[in-house]
Amino acid sequence: MHPSTPQKVFIHGPAGKLETVVNDPGEQHRGIALIAHPHPLFGGTLDNKVVHTLAKAFVELGYVALRPNLRGAGESHGSFDEGEGETQDMLAVAQHALEHIGNLPLVLAGFSFGAYVQSRVIKQLPAEKLLMVAPAVTRFDVGHVPASALVIHGDQDEVVPLAAVLAWAQPQKLQVIVLPGASHFFHGHLPELKQIVLNAFRS
């Protein structure tokens, strides 16, 4: 598959089919990146620009990037489940990827609500790295994550204040990369977001 041609697949999940877009770098695979979208009740889908930017970055790094629409979003079956069912959805997508692409290193990435979901997934699924972009720590009980987790947040985030993220991250000694001028949806700052991901995962 040409790396610029996304492929849509339907994966069997616990609530029915999960619409998923797969971007394949078309060369030797470095790993698999599973990317979770923001809150579906507020318009979050796999087509979100931040999610799309993360997928492009990981494909550039040699990862096969999978972006599912979690239950109730897009053409995926089921309805919103506060993160509980969405965690099971991501685990189903991970199992599908490992079976059909190969037993490769996993990276879990999520934006906003998606970061919360991935913080739950990593407790059940061994992953090489957890990337949390604008994690919704004021909306959900994100709790503790692995010390190796990388957090990216805008200092102008109007949905989840940077101060709240720092207060959550500091006791865990998590690395937080602050993007000056960026709002919650990184309007006008997507190229910088992509570059941060490329720099962080290139080594």
Residue 52 resides in a domain? yes
User: For the chain, percent helix, then strand, then coil, each to nearest 5?
Assistant: 30, 25, 45
Q: What is the pLDDT of residues 81-123, one digit of tens each?
A: 999 999 999 999 999 999 999 999 999 999 999 999 999 999 9
Residue 144 resides in a domain? yes
Q: End-to-end alpha-carbon separation of the chain, Å?
A: 25
CATH number of the domain encompassing residue 72: 3.40.50.1820
Residue 2 resides in a domain? no
Residue 120 resides in a domain? yes
Residue 4 has pLDDT above 60, yes or no: no
Give the number of residues written for the chain.
203
Q: Which residue has the tokens 């999940």?
A: 13
Q: What is the pLDDT of residues 37-50, one digit of tens each?
A: 999 999 999 999 99
Residue 185 resides in a domain? yes
DSSP 94-148: HHHHHHHT-S--EEEEEETHHHHHHHHHTTTS--SEEEEES--TTTS------TT
pLDDT-derived band at 1, boundaries 50, 70, 90 = very low
- Give the model's pLDDT for residue 3: 53
Q: Based on the structure, what is the number of domains in the chain?
A: 1
- Give the model's pLDDT for residue 27: 83
Spatial distance between the Cα atoms of 149 and 129, rounded to a whole number of angstroms = 6
Q: What is the pLDDT of residues 148-203, one digit of tens each?
A: 999 999 999 999 999 999 999 999 999 999 999 999 999 999 999 999 999 999 96
- Give the model's pLDDT for residue 2: 52
Residue 143 resides in a domain? yes
pTM: 0.96
- Averaged pLDDT, 143-151: 97
CB 50, CB 135: distance < 8 Å: no
- Give the model's pLDDT for residue 5: 83
Residue 25 structural domain: 7-201
Residue 54 resides in a domain? yes
Task: Tell me what percent of the residues of the chain surpass a pLDDT of 90.
Answer: 95
Across the chain, mean pLDDT equals 96
Residue 1 resides in a domain? no
